[in-house]
Amino acid sequence: MPITPEDTVRWIRRIAVVLHENREYLTQLDSPIGDGDHGINMDRGFKAVIDKLPTVANMDIGSILKTVGTTLVSTVGGASGPLYGTAFLRASMATSGKHELYEADVVHMLEAALEGVKARGKAQPGEKTMVDALTPALAAMKEAEQQNAGLARLLRRGSDAAEAGMKATIPLLATKGRASYLGERSVGHQDPGATSSWLMLKALADTCA
């Protein structure tokens, strides 16, 4: 069963719910190494996305994701707005005109999103950012695709790899974003951006389980 536009809308709605539920948690993670607003900003952005969803609900997947991206850019601010906005805009370009996403399409979509984040943020793996959750997720999905694991398992393995990548940010020294100002004091904290990235991929796996 491929991912349909209806699934995409359910995925986005689930992200909004999950980010709202984790608003305090993300903000707590952001307080010691950032400026304590990641949960607040992401919650505000996805609330605005939910308001816009009815206008694109019957369109192709690319159009839905494009609306998510432009709305995040226009409402979130901070670093997360341009980074997640760019991720969804690149994902929308990779899924433009499509009404069904199969395994290879999902891999292609995440690859485009990750490339967008790396280009916009000039970030590489190992710098304690969302890239550290997305990179292993993409690798796990590619492997699952080669093994013909099926879409549901591919999404779950991607989500699990993102979770492992997120936890692996704890001992890292931040070299990008506001956390980098702390130097050694950033070590020992889980990156909030990697955490929200995992929550989004987990929401996709849960939607298509």
Partner 1 sequence: MKKLINSPESVVSDALAGMQALHPELLRVVRVDADNQIIVRADAPVRGKVGLISGGGSGHEPMHGGFVGYGMLDAACPGAVFTSPVPDQMLAATKAVDGGAGVLHIVKNYTGDVLNFEMAAELAEAEGIQVASIVTNDDVAVQDSLYTAGRRGVGVTVLLEKIVGGLAEGGASLAHVADLARKVNDHGRSMGMALTSCTVPAAGKPTFELPDDEMEIGIGIHGEPGRRRVKLAHASEVTEMLATPIIEDLGLKAGERVLAFVNGMGGTPLIELYVVASELAKILKSRDVTIARSLVGSYITSLEMAGCSITLLRLDDELTRYWDAPVHTPALRWGM
Find residue 3's DSSP bridge partners: 101
Indicate the burial class of 119 (C-beta count within 10 angstroms; 0-12, 13-18, 19 or more): exposed
In angstroms and rounded to an integer, the radius of gyration of the C-alpha atoms of the chain is 16
Task: Cite the DSSP H helix spans in the chain.
Answer: 5-21, 23-33, 38-52, 61-75, 80-94, 103-121, 131-146, 151-167, 192-207
Q: State yes or no: residue 113 binds partner 1 (CB under 8 A).
A: no
x-or-dash pattern for partner 1, window 44-83, by CB under 8 A?
A: x---x------------------------xxxxxxxxxxx
* Smallest distance, partner 1 to C-beta of residue 183, A: 7
Q: Report in angstroms how near the CB of residue 178 gets to partner 1 at its nearest.
A: 6
- Whether residue 153 contacts residue 183, with contact meaning beta carbons closer than 8 Å, is answered with no
User: Which of 5, 121, 165, 192 is close enough to bind partner 1 by CB under 8 A?
Assistant: 121
Q: How far is the CB of 156 from partner 1 (least distance, A)?
A: 32
Query: Per rule CB under 8 A, is residue 207 in the interface with partner 1?
Result: no
190 touching partner 1, by CB under 8 A? no
Least distance (Å) from partner 1 to the CB of residue 186? 10
Interface with partner 1 includes 41 (CB under 8 A)?
yes
Q: How many Cα atoms occupy the beta-carbon half-sphere of 1 within 13 Å?
A: 10
Q: Which residue, 58 or 74, has its beta carbon nearer to partner 1?
A: 74
Q: Which is nearer to partner 1, 2 or 36 (CB)?
A: 36
The Cα–Cα gap between 155 and 158 comes to 5
Region for 188 from its dihedrals, namely left if φ exceeds 0, alpha if ψ lies in -120 to 50, beta otherwise? left
Exposed, middle or buried by CB within 10 Å (0-12, 13-18, 19+), for 146? exposed
Site string for partner 1, 9-38 (x = CB under 8 A): ------------------x---xx-xxxx-
Instruction: Count residues binding partner 1 (CB under 8 A).
Output: 34
Instruction: Decide if 162 contacts 136 (C-beta within 8 A).
Output: yes
* Binding residues vs partner 1 (CB under 8 A): 27, 31-32, 34-37, 40-41, 44, 48, 73-83, 120-121, 173, 175-178, 180-183, 185
